[in-house]
Amino acid sequence: MSVSNYLTVPVALTIAGSDSGGGAGIQADLRTFAFHKVHGTSALTCVTAQNTQGVDRVDALPAAAVIAQILAVVRDIGVQAVKTGMLLNPEIIAAVAEQAMEEHLPNLVVDPVMVSRTGSQLIADEAILALRECLIPLATILTPNRYEAQILSASEIDTLESMQAAAQRIFTLGARAVLVKGGGMPGELRGVDVWFDGNRLEVLKTATVETIHTHGTGCTLSAAITANLALGHDMFTAVKLAKSYVTSALHYSLQLGQGQGPVGHFFPLLESSQP
Ligand SMILES: Nc1ncnc2c1ncn2[C@@H]1O[C@H](COP(=O)(O)OP(=O)(O)OP(=O)(O)O)[C@@H](O)[C@H]1O
Ligand SMILES: Cc1ncc(COP(=O)(O)O)c(N)n1
């Protein structure tokens, strides 16, 4: 007989949708948490029939089912950090915001999933309003992509200067910090993100990685920020570490399916397994 070594690890919670293709959503989040040696828990909001080419169907869970999952996790296991992804409808968004307040969910990273990087809207207009009014003011860090930032700032974003102006404008919606992501920008701006926390306006820059396989970069980035917050890093350090992780995962993106494949979350293992 041998005895187990009991380990204690930080815990993170993702409140997000399922991606049947395994590239984004809950699947990307849990892989990212695992890579960071953070125990991943989840509250599923919806089930998408999705692959590398697009989303065929979305089925929402009842808001009460989302609440029950959150409570089951936080009241027993406890969490050090939480992220939200695809919340889909105003009922789910209001329920998550209520739980965030009542249960004092710590380190809340809100990825305001509204528009895919290719520009197609993923949630209804009323849900966008609910995100803006109920959830964004509770966020520790808000991570809009180019198109989401355009909606939230009501401005066109096509230059670094317009990303910086948008970050400052979106900050007034009430999040403690905003990261405007550049993956949907043209050319060299694809690897550039802009941070604003009311004080520091920073440009985080990596060289653009030339790949079409970028599905799930946004989910992966916000999950990595969440994992780093759960590990005890401060907000800006968590973002810098997460960006570096996504860049490495992009270097080992996976050629799967006929469309945009996912990033390689376990890139050190993948690298050593290639011939
Ligand atoms: N080709 C690239 N080269 C370098 N970094 C990139 C590239 N594409 C995206 N990124 C980085 O990936 C992160 C996620 O940003 P992105 O704008 O892609 O989010 P998103 O649109 O929410 O993601 P998704 O494509 O999953 O919808 C950011 O840090 C961004 O700078
Ligand atoms: C279930 C689900 N959640 C989120 C996204 C968008 O994610 P990303 O912004 O990473 O493409 C997605 N395509 N599917």
Asked whether 216 lines ligand 2 (CB < 6 A), one says yes
Question: Ligand 2 atom closest to Cα of 48?
Answer: 1
Number of domains in the chain: 1
Strands (E), the chain: 11-19, 39-51, 54-60, 81-84, 108-110, 141-142, 177-180, 192-196, 201-205
Residue closest via CA to ligand 1's atom 8 equals 183
For residue 106, what pLDDT is reported? 98
Asked whether 218 lines ligand 1 (CB < 6 A), one says yes
SS (H, E, C) 61-108: CCHHHHHHHHHHHHHHCCCCEEEECCCCCHHHHHHHHHHHHHCCCCCE
Question: Ligand 1 atom closest to Cα of 143?
Answer: 22
Judging by DSSP bridges, how do beta strands 177-180 and 192-196 pair with one another?
A: antiparallel
For residue 118, what pLDDT is reported? 61
- Note whether residue 106 is domain-resident: yes
**Residue 104 CA to ligand 1 centre (angstroms):** 30
Which domain range does residue 28 map to?
A: 11-258
The model's pTM is 0.97
Q: How far is CA 265 from the centre of its chain?
A: 14
Q: What CATH number is attached to the domain comprising 155? A: 3.40.1190.20
**Residue 218 CA to ligand 1 centre (angstroms):** 6
- Is 219 one of the annotated active-site residues of the chain? yes
Per-10-residue mean pLDDT of the chain, 275 residues long, equals 91 98 97 98 96 92 98 98 97 98 98 78 89 98 96 97 98 98 95 98 96 95 98 98 98 94 91 68
- Note whether residue 270 is domain-resident: no
User: Interface pTM (ipTM) of the complex?
Assistant: 0.96
CB-count burial class (<10 Å; 0-12, 13-18, 19+) for 141: buried
Residue indicated by tokens 């989040």:
29
For residue 275, what pLDDT is reported? 63
For residue 121, what pLDDT is reported? 76
Asked whether 19 lines ligand 2 (CB < 6 A), one says yes
For residue 119, what pLDDT is reported? 62
- Note whether residue 175 is domain-resident: yes
